[in-house]
Structure 1
Amino acid sequence: MNPTERFPHETLERLFHEPARLAIMSALCAADGALTFNELRGQCDLTDGNLSRHLKALQEAGAVTVTKRFVGVRPRTTVRLSETGLARFGDYLTALEDVLLAARRAVPGRRAGRGVVGARRAETR
């Protein structure tokens, strides 16, 4: 590697490179960009406090918007991906793919196209 080049992992955006936030962003992407607080809590298996803390970080970074309203007498909090958040998360995923590909290439005897799941399955046979 050229001394002026960055290691692939240095390009990962720390905002998203945290398991709970990665889960939140992935769940929102899979749901076409919006979920209620309760749906997110269930899908990401987080406590109310933990989810609130991670949503605050994502909201402060402009990755999501959080809307609170009442449906009848019940409060409802909806979390939506922002356009900026979606673009930044897409860039993060591309960087993560680069890191994984570089790591896969560095492991002796591994082919670049073979996934870890397939490798584990083959080892157990």
Structure 2
Amino acid sequence: MKNIIQHINKAFDHRIRLGIMSVLMVNESADFSTLKELLGVTDGNLASHTKALEAEDYISIEKQFIGRKPNTSYRATPLGKQAFKAHIDALEKLIQKS
């Protein structure tokens, strides 16, 4: 077997990043509170993982105010969608080979 994990994307290694991308793949966008609740993570934990995905250009972040309250929403970028699909395909191939 020749390096069957070569196409697994290290950016999605962490379960929180995997969860963020999973939510964003099936929803047009999600706000901070929704992601926090769905994933059961702390503010700081979610913020650090979204920043890491943003640095890879896998998600985009939009900050705005709704009334007087700040609102942060996230979307998967086209590059992020492509990279995540390739990651899932690699995982499926790994499972099939095992």
TM range (shorter): over 0.9
Match of residue 112 from structure 1 = none
Could you tell me which runs of 5 or more consecutive residues in structure 2 were left unpaired when the two chains were aligned: none
Return the offset for 1:99. Answer: 0.8
Aligned residue pairs total: 98
Structure 2 residue matching 1:11: 3-state secondary structure: coil
1:19-67 Cα offsets, whole Å, 9 max, x none, are 1100110011122x31001001111111100000000000000000011
TM-score by length of 1: 0.75
Which has the greater radius of gyration? 1
1:67 and 1:101 mapped to 2: Cα distance? Answer: 38
1:54-90 Cα offsets, whole Å, 9 max, x none, are 0000000000001110011010000011011001101
Which 4+ runs in 1 deviate beyond 4 A? none
Match of residue 68 from structure 2 = 73
- Structure 2 residue 14 is matched with structure 1 residue 10: no
Q: Which amino acid aligns with 1:56?
A: K
* Superposition CA RMSD, Å: 1.0
Could you tell me which runs of 5 or more consecutive residues in structure 1 were left unpaired when the two chains were aligned: 104-125
Match of residue 87 from structure 2 = 92
Match of residue 27 from structure 1 = 23
Structure 2 residue matching 1:10: 3-state secondary structure: coil
Match of 1:44 among 20, 28, 39: 39
1:95 and 1:66 mapped to 2: Cα distance? Answer: 27
2:96 and 2:60 mapped to 1: Cα distance? Answer: 32
2:5 and 2:79 mapped to 1: Cα distance? Answer: 22
Q: Percent identity?
A: 31
1:29 and 1:45 mapped to 2: Cα distance? Answer: 18
